Amino acid sequence: MSTHEQRWIDIGCIEDIPVRGARVVRTPAGCIAVFRTAEDEAFAIDDACPHKAGPLSQGIVHGKSVTCPLHNWVISLENGDAQGADEGSVASYPLKIEGGRLLLDLRRAQDRSAA
């Protein structure tokens, strides 16, 4: 396997995550929050807000964003960027759904773009 190939890891069923909710996956890369939107899309980002490291997995999911429970920063689930006037970002991770199973690639999305 080349270093540029994705390494998909089965992390469970999408049904295990409540609609507009999240679960935390503990990995060698750290804690990753896996979110499920109202449209049954799934996204994976680091579980620490870029502002004060608030637990994003405990935030409110709306559309394709999550609001940090500590200071109301809004973070894009698609790319991990802070929205509005706030600045900063968290790492996002490739995630796909196959047959209702969530498959995660632990390489950060920015690492993937360099491939």
> Is 32 part of a structural domain of the chain?
yes
Please count the structural domains in the chain. 1
> Is 46 part of a structural domain of the chain?
yes
Looking at residue 110, its pLDDT comes to: 54
Looking at residue 91, its pLDDT comes to: 96
Residue 55 domain boundaries = 8-106
Closest CA to 103 of 10, 7, 5, 17: 10
Burial of 84 (0-12, 13-18, 19+ CB in 10 A): exposed
Looking at residue 67, its pLDDT comes to: 98
Query: Could you list the mean pLDDT of each consecutive 10-residue stretch along the chain, which spans 115 residues?
Result: 68 97 92 97 97 97 98 97 96 96 87 40
> Is 91 part of a structural domain of the chain?
yes
> Is 36 part of a structural domain of the chain?
yes
CATH number of the domain enclosing 65: 2.102.10.10
